[in-house]
A = this chain, B = another copy of it.
Amino acid sequence: MNTFGRKFRVSIFGESHGELIGVVLDGVPAGLELAQEDFTKDILRRKSGAKGTTPRIEADKPRIVSGVYEGHTTGAPLTIVFENTNTKSKDYALFADMPRPGHADLTAALKWDDCQDPRGGGHFSGRLTLPVVAAGVVAKKILEDATILDDTPVNAVEARIVELAGISLLGVTDENQTQCSQSTIPAAWQQAIDQAIQEGDSLGAVVECVVPSIDPGYGEPFWDSVESLIAHAVFSIPGVRGIEFGDGFRAAAMKGSEHNDPIGADGRPTRNGAGGVNGGITNGAPLTFRVAFKPTSSIRKPQQTFNFAKGVTDTLEVPGRHDVCFALRAPVVVEAMTAIVLADLVLLSDR
């Protein structure tokens, strides 16, 4: 199913090297102000260009082709498309015979009987996170609007990298700094990136996402717990290997007396081991979760694969332009997915 959401519904389409990629948003309330400029900031955060990211540069200019009239949303389906211009499809001919380890080359071929568009990973490409980010911008508008209308404290969704190459952010920088933008990468991380570039290898990272201020009451006991919905959305980002809320996997080694969040003088938890969710429903504490991203699959370093043309195992050095650590571009995608889930819950809510 290519659509996510019940009332705010997001449908993604396109391939990495196809004519257009885009997103259709259904259920966007009428009357939200929306202009092309609103997308700039988040699209730039996802953009390549920094050291450790792919040299492929796209204009990534969003065209709003339906659902907006005279600067505001109309209530009709809102469609945003992006053109693919900077494509070098010849790089990819090789992988039909020699699937890249870690990629979807093989599974796509098996699923779709070799009919998939192989250029740039086709519909599996990380490029498809661009329309996701665009959807996230609209979702964030819906969340802001909910705040204004209902005077409720639903606030910004904030994600950042907290671990890279196994090096925790806390060990390498002081906490104050990390609250601001991550434009400056800690030196220890930069060093790991430089080394990986040199080795033709790649790196993973952990992204933490927080919604500092969210109303209680969102989510369902079965099946649509807040964790279920967020995990569903987040695991559709290419390269995610795990997700945990609050104390996460550490909770499994804690005692109840340690993990349970005591309830304080205002009827709210005094710590946040639950990550802001009890019984699948937001409890008013910050919604907090962490996402594990694998290292980029495409590496220059030689790897073993199977050569289907020759019928033997073979060695592959993946050519082309790739991120050393694509997770550097992932925080804004995680934010988008979170905003998409919350916008749907806000619109579905009676409040």
Contact = CB atoms under 8 A, between A and B. Distances in A.
Interface of A: 1-4, 6-7, 9-15, 18-22, 24, 26-27, 29-31, 63, 65-67, 69, 72-79, 81, 99, 101-104, 106-108, 110-113, 115-117, 119, 122-124, 128, 163, 165-166, 196, 199, 201-206, 216-217, 220-225, 227-229, 231-233, 235-236, 238, 240-249, 251-267, 269-270, 274-275, 277-284, 292-299, 301, 303-306, 308, 312-313, 327, 347-348, 350
A258 to B, nearest CB: 8
B227 A229 contact: no
Nearest to A228: B235
Contacts of A1: 6, 9, 26-27, 220, 223-224
A66 B14 contact: yes
A42 B301 CA distance: 47
Nearest to A348: B7
A278 B106 contact: yes
Give the interface centre of A66, A228, A265, A284 by most chain B CB atoms within 10 Å: A66
A261 B231 contact: no
Nearest to A265: B313
Given A74-B123, A243-B243, A294 B252 contact: yes
A69 B63 CA distance: 24
Contacts of A6: 1, 6-7
12 contacts: A22-B79, A31-B112, A76-B112, A77-B123, A106-B267, A108-B221, A221-B236, A243-B243, A244-B249, A256-B299, A256-B301, A260-B295
Given A110-B216, A252-B292, A262-B101, A79 B14 contact: yes
A120 B249 CA distance: 27
A258 B327 CA distance: 17
Nearest to A203: B255
A127 B117 CA distance: 31
A291 to B, nearest CB: 9
Contacts of A10: 223
